Structure 1
Amino acid sequence: MTGMLPTTELALLRRLATEQAANRAPSLVAAVVRDGELVWSGARGFVDGTGGEQPDADTQYRLGSITKSLVAALVLRLRDEGRLELNDPVERHLPGTAFGATTIAQLLAHTGGLTAESPGSWWERSEGGDWSALQAGLTSGEVKHRPGRRFHYSNVGYGVLGELVARLRGTSWLAALRAEITGPLGMTRTSPHPEGRYAPGLAVHPFADVLLPEPSPDAGAMAPAGQLWSTVNDLARWTTFVGGHTGDVLHPDTVAEMREVAVVDDGDSWTAGYGLGFQLVRAGGRRLAGHTGSMPGFVSCSLIDPATSTGALAMANSTSGVAIVPLVLDLISIADDYEPSLPQEWRATSTDTRQLDLTGLWHWGPTPFHLRLLPEGGFNLAPAEGRGRASRFRPVGEDEWLGLDGYYAGETLRVVRDSDGRPQHLDLATFIFTRTPYDPAAPIPGGVDEKGWRP
């Protein structure tokens, strides 16, 4: 673990200590990550809430719903392999359900309309049944909203996604998780049940300083919604994964897609939303991604700002009381306020110089644009002045480029060359870009007045 300045570490520890003391957490652990590395971790309290053993970065806590994000990554791996499409209806892979028209993407983003909790006894405090039992309870009456209509958080939806992974992998979702996610990321202390050093789940009495142990049963078919336990060290690896340090588990573009907004709150200016398995938060000028978690006896949170690569996490063994999200947001702010990141030093890159003839000034009608090559092999096309339709592109074929973001995301740009092989115009989703405004030699839609420009 790389370190931070002593003044920064003291400020972070003080914020953690204040939260643990003020909100009476039996124990509380936290960490800050930056640029793919764990840079600080701290702990306060005692694992049993009374004295004795203190937690550290290798003590397990229950993650709760952070489990959902790891399951979502398994689903996106299947998508990237071509085993499924996100718009596939559930029926295509799990026939016989009462919600077969709901899509996989809708389950990932909690817009499928399924009931929030599984029918029967509260699943978080009950021994869970298998998929057959869960499916039998999910009758048509458990579809509470038209699929796609609105955000409705559904633990059940992730039970369904766990079964989807199991069917397509031919093994349990947990076995797939170990082989494809936690193993490759080095998350060796993430497990479905506590192993080694762990903090027991506790409830703190609201009006007295006394404790009550909470149960931690196996949730069965509902386990993909919140079963996992983990440590600071492991959750730090996952937090950096969400920020884009994905190793060989997923392509960074796929994780960026998971962070895209699928649905937001209903306020005038959204502050919370959900992507494909990630919760999204806008606060303090930041746009963060990650997830919160809660199970009887535990609360947790992991968030990262991909723009700065600074993130934080926290876990406590208390059913309620700890302001886990404000704590994590404050840890990120303290880290960046005390030690703002320096921009990377500029240096020349191995840009494909064969594309230099594409660079420079282009015009969409009378509006000037600049095309600039990017280090990763693509280019950026943006208005020369002010704001407008700017997008990045990556090559997909000979003189063909795919839009990655902005207005032209998913659209194809084609370079049309003259008889000498020089770029004559760009054809982007029917828009023609030329070196001079309304070049009459290019196929401008509607043609160009033969008299040309005039006073």
Structure 2
Amino acid sequence: MVRRVQAEGRVPAVAAALHRADRPLWTCEVGGTGNDTALGPQTLFRIGSVTKTFTAVLVMQCRDAGLLDLDDPVGAHLDVPAHGELTVRRLLSHTSGLQREPHGDVWDTLLAPGADELLADLARAERVLPPARRFHYSNLGMAVLGQLVARLRGGTWAEVLADRVLTPLGLTATTDRPGPAAATGFLVDAYSDEAHPEPPTDFAAVGPAGQLWSTATDMARWAAFLADPAALDPTGAVLAPATLDEMRWPLTVTDETVWGAGFGLGLILLPQGERVVHVGHDGAMPGFLAAVYGRRGGDGTPGAMGAAVLGSSGTGVQVMELPHRLLAAAVEHDPADVEPWRPGPPAPEHLRGMLGRWWGEGFESVFSWHDGTLQARSAGDPAGKPPAVFAPLPDRPDVFRTVSGREAGELLRLTRDATGAVVRLHWATYRFTRGQETFDGYDFRR
């Protein structure tokens, strides 16, 4: 598959890697670097806007540390001449309405502003849409967030990134400077076999939106982290799994009529069907394309699964689809091993009598005890749909909080009769009974 993309896409160099918790790392490189270095797993490629996922993680680290709130206006943390009322959340999800690029013709001059100039020029930047109106991609917005992180942490964006993300996760090849082991990026002529090298570029203060270089192996590991952080960062040193859950929740779609892609907090979300989603980002810079995605959900998907494909052509668009095909093919042809079921301890005695079928709103739900937790599913739920999971409130033994699934966040309350038997449930205030009842209490068993 990689060789076909390199040949048919006419990409001078393609590097691919696939990471999963249950198999050795898989890599493949095809082509040549276009310079005196040999193409291999340690060859650096520019990853472009995949950089935004790193900046987003840095922002969420600041939130978790109490340095900001996602609904804070950026002007509360940065001295800006305009657009200070735009919130961190809107900038992360590309729903702020801020124009796409910094002021000026950056893509003509290839001269990016410094930090002071970037912020000062916000006075000349447009709000092209009202906030929250729709998805509108903005490199400028992510660059502003990079400056916000640098200001809050007391260092440059690159220094903070290396200290707080790259080093803890072992992404030793990822850098804001290419170094001698980098491939040359090319524009491949549409009507001949000529490949012309693109000029090197330094995006200065716009770096948080697209400056980084990396290897396919580092990026496959990063993709696996975005999909399954607990496997690569079990102590939550970089980011708590619950925070990644929050980042992966879709806040907008990228097309109002074709809901084929969503955007969370700095992350692209691509549904694959059968309750599978690929999470990550694409990247494009002069002479380079990159696609880095982790896989979540579905039968056969192993833990910590991520794929990265990096290419040294700005027009080799086949690179962008290849990670998704690699992930799907790996699951189809080498699925995760099926873990055997083993008997477990019984449900707590005070809950055993309430397990089974209950009726609410005219529909049946099944309450059960699995994996040490109280769970509930609608009787008609399709296979693979996650259950609602409940956690007891420590000071109220017959009250539970829904911690995931349907009605997440809502309370489940048990009502008992004089004998101690559970005779009624209230979930999100809706009444559940052992038999089907109308809202005013008519029991169809009578």
2:11 matched residue in structure 1: 25
Percent identity of paired positions between Structure 1 and Structure 2: 35
Counterpart-to-counterpart distance in 1, 2:112 and 2:346: 55
2:210 matched residue in structure 1: 226
Q: Matches of residues 279-358 of structure 1 in structure 2 within 5 Å?
A: 279-283=268-272, 286-307=276-297, 308-309=301-302, 310-348=305-343, 353=348, 356-357=351-352
Residue 253 of structure 2 corresponds to residue 264 of structure 1: yes
Counterpart-to-counterpart distance in 2, 1:378 and 1:233: 37
Q: Taking structure 1 as reference, are residues 379 and 403 closer, same or farther at Cα in structure 2, changes over 3 Å only? A: same
1:122 Cα deviation after fit? 1.4
1:143 Cα deviation after fit? 0.9
Amino acid at match of 1:47: T
Q: Taking structure 1 as reference, are residues 188 and 420 closer, same or farther at Cα in structure 2, changes over 3 Å only? A: farther
1:362 matched residue in structure 2: 358
1:401 Cα deviation after fit? 3.7
2:426 matched residue in structure 1: 427
Stretches of 4+ moved more than 6 A in 1?
387-390
Match of 2:184 among 191, 195, 200: 200
Match of 1:190 among 174, 183, 186: 174
Q: Taking structure 1 as reference, are residues 454 and 227 closer, same or farther at Cα in structure 2, changes over 3 Å only? A: closer
Q: Taking structure 1 as reference, are residues 354 and 304 closer, same or farther at Cα in structure 2, changes over 3 Å only? A: farther
1:279 Cα deviation after fit? 0.9
Q: Taking structure 1 as reference, are residues 297 and 244 closer, same or farther at Cα in structure 2, changes over 3 Å only? A: same
Task: Point out the more displaced range, 234-243 or 396-405.
Answer: 396-405
Q: Taking structure 1 as reference, are residues 435 and 105 closer, same or farther at Cα in structure 2, changes over 3 Å only? A: same
1:43 Cα deviation after fit? 0.3
Counterpart-to-counterpart distance in 2, 1:84 and 1:196: 38
Match of 1:116 among 89, 100, 106: 100
Counterpart-to-counterpart distance in 1, 2:284 and 2:350: 51
1:207 Cα deviation after fit? 2.6
3-state SS of paired residue (1:138): helix
Gaps of 5+ in 2: none
Deviations 1:5-62 (A, max 9, x none): xxxxxxxxxx11111122221111001222376531100111117xx64321111111
Amino acid at match of 1:29: A
1:437 Cα deviation after fit? 4.8
Amino acid at match of 1:313: A
Q: Matches of residues 363-402 of structure 1 in structure 2 within 5 Å?
A: 363-375=359-371, 377-386=372-381, 391-395=387-391, 397-398=393-394, 399=397, 400-402=399-401
Deviations 1:408-440 (A, max 9, x none): 1232334455677665543322213344555xx
3-state SS of paired residue (1:393): strand
Task: Point out the more displaced range, 407-416 or 173-182.
Answer: 407-416
Q: Matches of residues 97-112 of structure 1 in structure 2 within 5 Å?
A: 97-112=81-96
Amino acid at match of 1:258: M
Task: Point out the more displaced range, 258-267 or 104-113.
Answer: 258-267
Counterpart-to-counterpart distance in 1, 2:97 and 2:228: 30
Amino acid at match of 2:252: V
Task: Point out the more displaced range, 207-216 or 155-164.
Answer: 207-216
Amino acid at match of 1:412: L
1:86 matched residue in structure 2: 70
Is the Cα–Cα contact under 8 Å of residues 163 and 221 in structure 1 kept in the other structure? Answer: yes
Is the Cα–Cα contact under 8 Å of residues 68 and 277 in structure 1 kept in the other structure? Answer: yes
Is the Cα–Cα contact under 8 Å of residues 360 and 436 in structure 2 kept in the other structure? Answer: yes
Q: TM-score, normalised by structure 1?
A: 0.84
1:182 Cα deviation after fit? 1.3
Deviations 1:147-194 (A, max 9, x none): 100110101111111112122222222222222211111101111101
Match of 1:156 among 114, 120, 140: 140
1:368 Cα deviation after fit? 2.7
Counterpart-to-counterpart distance in 2, 1:44 and 1:366: 59
1:222 Cα deviation after fit? 0.7
1:142 matched residue in structure 2: 126
Q: Taking structure 1 as reference, are residues 355 and 262 closer, same or farther at Cα in structure 2, changes over 3 Å only? A: farther
Deviations 1:291-337 (A, max 9, x none): 10011111100122211244321001112224122222222232223
Deviations 1:175-227 (A, max 9, x none): 22222211111101111101352212222222333333323333221110011
Is the Cα–Cα contact under 8 Å of residues 25 and 322 in structure 1 kept in the other structure? Answer: no
1:339 Cα deviation after fit? 1.9
Counterpart-to-counterpart distance in 1, 2:243 and 2:370: 19
3-state SS of paired residue (1:139): helix
3-state SS of paired residue (2:190): coil
Gaps of 5+ in 1: 1-14, 439-443
1:356 Cα deviation after fit? 4.3
Q: TM-score, normalised by structure 2?
A: 0.86
Counterpart-to-counterpart distance in 2, 1:125 and 1:315: 25
Counterpart-to-counterpart distance in 2, 1:208 and 1:137: 41
Is the Cα–Cα contact under 8 Å of residues 177 and 212 in structure 2 kept in the other structure? Answer: yes
Deviations 1:230-260 (A, max 9, x none): 1122112101101113412222232122222
Q: How many aligned positions are there?
A: 430
